[in-house]
Amino acid sequence: MGGNCYRPHPRVESYLRRKLSFERRRTELTRAGKTLPQEDKQRRSLDTEKVDILNNYIFPSMANVVKFLEYSQEDELREVFEDDIKDLFFGKSHLKQGNPSPIFQRFLQASTSWKPQRGERRSSVLNRTPLHQTVKLIDFRLGLLDYLYYVLGLTAIFNAPKYVFDDKNYVSIVKQDFARLGVWIRLLTKNADIQDFDNNAVARPALF
């Protein structure tokens, strides 16, 4: 494979694997009424490394990607980076067998999916909760659907039609169907655990 390939930073992947292994072993021993040898020491070491990984790799990576894409929208830079952005989003892993998902799809799925915690209620139907009662979901990722709906609406209803379709009735027809999706999205996102999020209290303020 050529020198222009890219992959996760070794430190990031190494930390994530070790942290996952530690948490799994700790959970298994806790269920058995045991404790992990030198558990506190291992946890402190991993917690320190977590801060370093987030500060030096994860959050700066997000800042770099966002600014890169924002600048790339300028007319003077669009042609410069057009093929690179296609590679970035539509590229697929060369290490996965079969027909792997594009990188962008993997990003969206990893951002908006979660496994319910043990004991967490999966739905009002499974738990026989009356439909008129709100089921509080633990995970905040559900709230991201509202952002996806907003951006999709800008593209599908307001931006793309004037470049793709000559029929102006397209907007009025699709807007009705899109509004129905919006109702479902809002019903879901109002249960997301994001009401207490305070952007002024984040550990790593965004300065871009």
Region of residue 141 (left: phi > 0; alpha: psi -120 to 50; beta: else) = alpha
Domain contains 57: no
Residue 130 to residue 137: CA distance in whole angstroms: 15
Region of residue 113 (left: phi > 0; alpha: psi -120 to 50; beta: else) = beta
Region of residue 81 (left: phi > 0; alpha: psi -120 to 50; beta: else) = alpha
For 199, which DSSP code?
A: G
Residue 204 to residue 179: CA distance in whole angstroms: 35
Cα angle 70, 73, 74; round to 5: 110
Q: Which phi and psi angles does 54 have, rounded to 5°? A: -65, -45
Using one digit for the tens of pLDDT, what is the confidence trace for 18-50? 999 999 998 898 889 988 788 888 999 999 999
Domain contains 103: no
Domain contains 41: no
pLDDT at 183: 87
Domain contains 67: no
Tens of pLDDT, residue by residue, the chain (208 residues): 556 788 999 999 999 999 999 999 988 988 899 887 888 889 999 999 999 999 999 999 999 999 999 999 999 999 999 999 999 999 999 888 888 999 999 999 999 887 766 555 544 444 444 444 444 555 788 888 888 988 888 777 766 666 666 666 666 777 778 888 888 888 877 767 676 678 888 888 899 9
pLDDT at 60: 97
Residue 61 to residue 53: CA distance in whole angstroms: 11
Residue 191 to residue 109: CA distance in whole angstroms: 19
Domain contains 176: yes
Q: Tokens for 56, please give them.
A: 């030096």
Give Cβ neighbours of residue 78 (< 8 Å, ≥ 6 apart): 72
Domain contains 122: yes
Using one digit for the tens of pLDDT, what is the confidence trace for 41-79? 899 999 999 999 999 999 999 999 999 999 999 999 999
Residue 14 to residue 39: CA distance in whole angstroms: 19
Domain contains 8: no
pLDDT at 81: 97
Domain of residue 143, residue span = 114-196
Q: How many domains does one find in the chain?
A: 1
Helical (H) or strand (E) element with 51: helix 39-53
Domain contains 66: no
| Separation in Å, CA 203 to CA 79, 92, 141, 206 | 37, 33, 19, 10
